């Protein structure tokens, strides 16, 4: 991580980073871009225990999000989501582009009735229905639909080369895959309004300063993917049922009033006392040993 991107860490954050660094030192991660299911526009792999990796693989088009690509992405996400051995996902693209946007050639001749009746872009939101955490590892361009795709993920890590933006205004439309809504939730109304109405791109440092990305990872080819896999490995080492509850609780903060959100959080907290992992986790803490999760 470059000095320009460093910010003071709380003791909790520092401990989390130490856990990730310790994992990377103890477990060298060799990210292999291989696929177990036959896909044309994506690659899937399992680079670490409990971690599924999906790589967008349409390099000539800078990973432009065509319907066939999104169909494959949704299929891969569903496959990993139903696999109990996978407890966290990483989504990435190439060094040049996470995803440079939607496939404009595919949509330029569409008419209103076609996009409205066909519920165009509705399938893009499948990622947000997945119970397992998804980490976006962003290098290069994440523009338009690419930025929206990253926003659908639970955590965003970015390389210093990452460039974000919602430039749809420049082609006579606005974001249609959640950009105006999710970006406003992440960085506020005023900045989102400026970016939406001007189409200006913004840097990884700006994204970090505004709180859009969790952090900017050091330079070097593949570093952001390695860091994302290491982070996913740490998450995958926790109780899967508690992780899912934590994800639901945080997401509820964006969908409920504070009072409703607090009530929902308490209900999730209470419900975890019906799980084996709550019993094991607290017993292990009291006995000063490492817990053995049952994930139930």
Please give the positions annotated as active site: 102, 145, 148, 168
Place of tokens 């299911």: 37
> DSSP letter at 296?
-
- Residues 6 or more apart whose CB falls under 8 angstroms from that of 65 comprise 99, 101, 102, 103, 124, 145, 146, 149
CA pair distance 42, 115, nearest whole angstrom:
25
Place of tokens 């639901």: 248
Q: What is the DSSP string of 44-71?
A: EEEEETTEEEEEE--GGGTT-B-HHHHH
Contact 162, 205 (CB under 8 A): no
The distance of Cα 147 from the centroid of its chain, to the nearest Å, equals 11
- Residues 6 or more apart whose CB falls under 8 angstroms from that of 69 comprise 41, 42, 56, 58, 63, 103
- Return the H-helix or E-strand segment holding 251: helix 240-252
Place of tokens 């390099």: 59
CA pair distance 18, 22, nearest whole angstrom:
6
């Amino acid at each position: 991580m470059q000095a320009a991107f460093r910010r003071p860490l709380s003791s909790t954050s520092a401990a989390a980073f130490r856990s990730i660094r310790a994992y990377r030192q103890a477990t060298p991660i060799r990210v292999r871009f291989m696929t177990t299911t036959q896909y044309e526009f994506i690659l899937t792999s399992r680079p670490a225990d409990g971690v599924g990796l999906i790589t967008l693989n349409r390099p000539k088009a800078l990973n432009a999000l065509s319907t066939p690509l999104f169909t494959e992405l949704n299929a891969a996400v569903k496959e990993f989501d139903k696999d109990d051995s996978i407890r966290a996902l990483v989504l990435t693209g190439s060094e040049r582009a996470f995803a440079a946007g939607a496939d404009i050639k595919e949509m330029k001749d569409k008419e209103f009735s076609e996009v409205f009746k066909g519920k165009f872009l509705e399938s893009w939101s499948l990622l947000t229905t997945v119970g397992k955490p998804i980490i976006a590892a962003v290098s290069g361009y994440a523009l338009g639909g690419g930025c929206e795709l990253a926003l659908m993920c639970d955590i965003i890590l970015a390389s210093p080369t990452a460039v974000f933006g919602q430039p749809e205004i420049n082609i006579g439309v606005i974001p249609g895959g959640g950009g105006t809504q999710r970006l406003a939730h992440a960085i506020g109304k005023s900045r989102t309004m400026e970016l939406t109405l001007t189409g200006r791109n913004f840097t990884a440092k700006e994204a970090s300063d505004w709180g859009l990305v969790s952090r900017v990872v050091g330079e070097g080819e593949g570093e952001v993917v390695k860091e994302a896999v290491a982070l996913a490995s740490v998450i995958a080492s926790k109780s899967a049922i508690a992780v899912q509850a934590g994800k639901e609780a945080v997401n509820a903060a964006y969908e409920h009033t504070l009072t409703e959100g607090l009530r929902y959080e308490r209900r999730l907290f209470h419900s975890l006392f019906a799980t084996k992992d709550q019993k094991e986790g607290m017993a292990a803490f009291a006995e000063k040993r490492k817990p053995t999760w049952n994930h139930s």
